[in-house]
Structure 1
Amino acid sequence: MPLVNEADLDWTDVADEKMRVRRKQLGEAAGSDQLGCSLYELPPGEASWPYHYHTANEEALYVLTGTGMLRLDGETQPLRAGDYAALPADESGGHKVINDSEGPLRYLVVSTMNEPDVTVYPDSGKVGVFVGAPPGGRDERSHHGYYRVEDAVDYWDGE
């Protein structure tokens, strides 16, 4: 497994109409198979992915620099350098990072890389399904999609 230095890795910009964040996939660059680790930089006024939790992958967050807010298990708490949060693979690990400061917020996210995984988005009533590669992984997936929980059908529908 190679030793990597984050300064040698390029940032990947993750941006759409709802969020903007920069990411360096340290775990992947080091050849990690079962453990993911990404360095994130969240600009002022931005928020990370929608509030969600995983059902198969535990995550942890460690703040390197800056300040912000963490919505964790439905409650909002201040974040500052040195803070660490465990994000279990269940509803109690529900999370979203918000940078409400005037400077960038840099943090590490470490996670198991199990698949299949289902992510649950309580605010929007959706679930995400990841088969073939876990969330954050770059391998090809045999199935990946987002579905509204309210659209659930009976097991025998369509048979």
Structure 2
Amino acid sequence: MPKIDIAAAPSRSGTGYPQPFDRECQGRQRWMLGDAVGLSQFGVNLLRLPPGQWSSQRHWHTAEDEFVQVLEGEVVLVTDAGEEVLRAGDCAGFPAGVADGHHLQNRSDREAVLLEVGSRRPEYDACAYPDIDLAAPAGLDGYVHKDGTPY
């Protein structure tokens, strides 16, 4: 495969979270590097996270593993166990099926850059959001309330 031209890779800004859960994630930008070279078994993203923004709402996956490495800057990893600062070079991983909600917050005054790697199993994977009235059922492209009603 040729070298990935990051500037030309598919990207998306902001979030698909419904209001009011979208605010903290509106400034994030992801480049889908795995998509750029046709990877189908796992995803690889470059994430740029401006000051004050979050990688996601705190969540966990039923059928997808996740791995993240901080390339530049620093973020705060928030899990059920508490908070931990991650700096350039630090990594964290989240096995599928472990009900430990997690996300990254950029509380610094400069942009953070991260590499994200994860399984691609959308037909089997559900995503739970322990802190808010939000769920992402397996096989559904979108969000529902915890009682199953759509947004």
The TM-score normalised by the length of structure 2 is 0.81
Task: Determine if the alignment matches structure 1 residue 111 to structure 2 residue 108.
Answer: no
**CA distance in structure 2 between the aligned counterparts of 1:119 and 1:146, rounded to whole angstroms:** 9
- Deviation of 1:90 after TM superposition, in Å, equals 2.3
Unaligned runs of 5+ in 1: 132-142, 153-159
Q: Choose the corresponding residue for 1:53, options 35, 39, 60.
A: 60
Counterpart in the other structure of 2:106: 99
Secondary structure in 1 aligned to 2:13?
A: strand
Q: Which residue of 2 aligns with 1:14?
A: 14
Which string of whole-angstrom CA distances, capped at 9 and with x for unpartnered residues, describes residues 6-60 of structure 1? 2443653225534220110000001101010000000011112110001010010
Q: What is the Cα deviation at residue 89 of structure 1?
A: 1.1
Deviations 1:67-117, CA, capped at 9 Å, x for gaps: 120113442100100001011112355211100111100001100101321
Q: Give runs of aligned pairs for residues 62-77 of structure 1, distance below 5 A.
A: 62-77=69-84
- In the alignment, residue 29 of structure 1 is paired with which amino acid? A
Counting strand residues as a fraction of each chain, which structure ranks higher? Answer: 1
Quote the Cα distance in structure 2 between the aligned partners of 1:113 and 1:41.
Answer: 21
Number of the residue aligned with 1:136: none
1:118·1:128 contact (CA, 8 Å) conserved in 2?
Answer: yes
What is the percent sequence identity of the aligned residues? 34
Q: TM-score, normalised by structure 1?
A: 0.78
Q: CA RMSD in A?
A: 2.1
**Residue of structure 2 equivalent to 1:23:** 30
- Residue 141 of structure 2 corresponds to which residue in structure 1? 144
Question: Is the 1:74–1:94 contact (alpha carbons within 8 Å) kept by the matching residues of 2?
Answer: no
**How many residues are treated as equivalent by the alignment?**
140
For structure 2, the 5+ residue unaligned runs are 16-21
Greater Rg over alpha carbons, structure: 1
- Are residue 4 (structure 1) and residue 4 (structure 2) matched? yes
| Amino acid in structure 2 at the alignment position of 1:146 | Y
SS, match of residue 28 in structure 1: helix
Letter in 2 for 1:39: L
Report which stretch shifted further, 121-130 or 80-89: 121-130
Q: Is the 8 A contact 1:47 1:96 kept in 2?
A: yes
